[in-house]
Amino acid sequence: MIPRYSTPEMTAVFDDASRFGRWLEVELLATEGQAALGVVSAADAAACRKRAPRVDAAFVQRVLDREAVTDHDVAAFVDVVQGDIGAPEGAWIHYGLTSTDVVDTALAWMMRDAVDLMIDASDAFVRQLKQLALAHRNTVMIGRTHGVHAEPTTFGAKVALWCLQADRDRARLRQARAAIAVCKLSGAVGTYSNIDPRVEQHVGAALGLHPVPATQVLARDRHAEFLWACAAVGATVELIAVELRHLQRTEVREVQEGFRAGQKGSSAMPHKRNPISAETLSGLARIVRSNLQAGLQNVALWHERDISHSSVERVIIPDSAQLAYYMLRRCTRLLEGLQVFPEQMRRNLWASHGLVFSQPVLLALVQAGMTRDDAYRVVQENAMRAWDEHTDFRSLLEHDARVTVPAAALDAAFDLQRSLQNLGPTFAALDAID
């Protein structure tokens, strides 16, 4: 991932030093597991641990240089590690293992740590959404369907639904963590033919990973579930971002992204304050969503293993984790600095001449004895006339001889609070979120 959308903490999970450092720890733990079974002497295992190389930039480069010869990254890694430990003890490194034992276990370990970062960011995101929803529980605005005025709602109700969805994303991240916090050290084709299952158990216990049955590779539905959790986060952030972009349009201007001192919205037009964060988030969501497609294609591998998934995962897993984490944090900051304009929301609500109360008027006419179709036609005709003539909808109804309901019935139909009186269940669900 390019530095622009990377974070130091997520980079530290997936960079080469982290990857090789985790490979080394898996190898050393496996050697110590062998020692516990008496396959390797305790002294040799201790020597391997003591003389194990320090994984730093120089070590990474030595492995890359060796890979230029071996054309195999794990083989190159093992060569360098064994050389640093020295003979005869170094020969026990990678004993009974196949490359994927090390790679898949280390990758699952990295993914688990990445999910933990995303869960922490998701916690902050959900808290911010809940806070914003409660602050604007009674901030009245127009609800729109198909981009057209529909009926009144509140900004808090809108944000509450975002929060409920973000909470479901958090649950998906937790589920993905459980799916990916696994390990396998069962050798070629996964039959434990050259390694005791107790070695796998030893390594898993040390790393907090659960041993699972596998072929030579861990089943890739686990990785696809991780990518789905990332994509779901991206989709929710995009949902919020798209809505905020619409609400920031000049003709609407019900909200506005924060604007720092010294910030410039355009290189050419000094007046511009663009929804740059929301637009950036909308774009990044497309990448995370696309990566999920590749992850699903990785599930089907030949026989007990092939490496068609490997090249793909080197890109999509770190990138999806980086972007999901970045998007959660950036959207949280966006919401923290969001400006909300309640008065403009009210002005926009009434800009359609009261048409947003057409349904309660319809129901009042039906309750007074009209057939639904007749009532619909009466309300629709007056509504269209109000639009076309820029005339108050209620006044037209009051002058229509077909509308025989008493003024009190129209008062009730046009009562804004009546439209919002039953939002309790939405906020009860919000209150239940921790």
- Decide if 266 is catalytic: yes
- 8 Å CB contact between 284 and 327: yes
d(CA 260, CA 252): 22
Taking the mean position of all CA atoms in its chain, how far away is CA 176?
12
Three-class SS state of 150: strand
Token pair 């509140």 is found at 154
Pairing of strands 140-145, 148-154: antiparallel
- The string of DSSP codes covering 256-274 is E----TT--S-SS-TT---
Cβ atoms < 10 Å from Cβ of 428: 9
- 8 Å CB contact between 126 and 167: yes
Name the catalytic one among 146, 271, 390, 399: 146
Name the catalytic one among 41, 266, 308, 395: 266
Backbone angles phi, psi at 330, to 5 degrees: -70, -40
Q: Tell me which H or E stretch contains 140.
A: strand 140-145
Cβ atoms < 10 Å from Cβ of 316: 23
d(CA 5, CA 324): 10
Backbone angles phi, psi at 141, to 5 degrees: -150, 170
- Decide if 146 is catalytic: yes
Q: Which residues carry out catalysis?
A: 146, 266
